[in-house]
Amino acid sequence: MTSVAVVAALAAFVLLAAPALAVTADQLVAAALDRTRHKVVYDPAYRTIAYPMGDVPAATGVCTDEVIRAYRALGIDLQRLVHEDMRAAFQFYPGNWGLKRPDPNIDHRRVPNLRVFFARHGRSLPVTARGADYAPGDLVTWNLPGNLPHIGMVTDRKSADGARPLIVHNIGAGPVLEDMLFDYEITGRYRYLPG
């Protein structure tokens, strides 16, 4: 192995083994807001992707992909973290898909799995009807019509009346910033700021 290959292999090992750097809510919000500048076609198709740091094609994705990409911009690989947690504690994750073991291609892209991961490794916060209770960087999950799970991120931007924070999410038209916090049934609120 050449010295360049050894250095590259060591750097890859350190990246995977090292604990994540401290992430602030401001950094997370900035990364989420940056996602709204990307053109993304909504595509929930299952794809085989690299592991770790795998992603579906940049011009495609769903609500979870925007959350994953915001964290990834800060060096946090939710694909790896969710996969490792599912390998260690598979029994705590939903059995909605009939899987017998974790699948690193898709597990991190499923809202119910992210809910479990964020509750286990971050903080599960009370769901309220007061917009002021939702802090920048909080992750909110909803149940959309048709019993479809959804996720988005709370920002520091406010609604026109100042009563609600705006949310970055992808509900089908690509990543957008919208006043939609209370448009659907909220199923969870989480705070995940590793480091």
Per-residue pLDDT, 2: 43
pLDDT at residue 7 tops 90: no
Please give the class, per CATH, of domain 23-191. alpha beta
137-178 pLDDT tens trace: 999 999 999 999 999 999 999 999 999 999 999 999 999 999
Average pLDDT over residues 33-52: 98
What are the phi and psi torsion angles at 124 (to 5°)? -95, 125
Please determine, for residue 96, whether its predicted confidence score (pLDDT) is greater than 60: yes
When pLDDT is cut at 50, 70 and 90, the band that residue 10 belongs to is: very low
Whether the bond into 52 is cis, omega within 30 of 0: yes
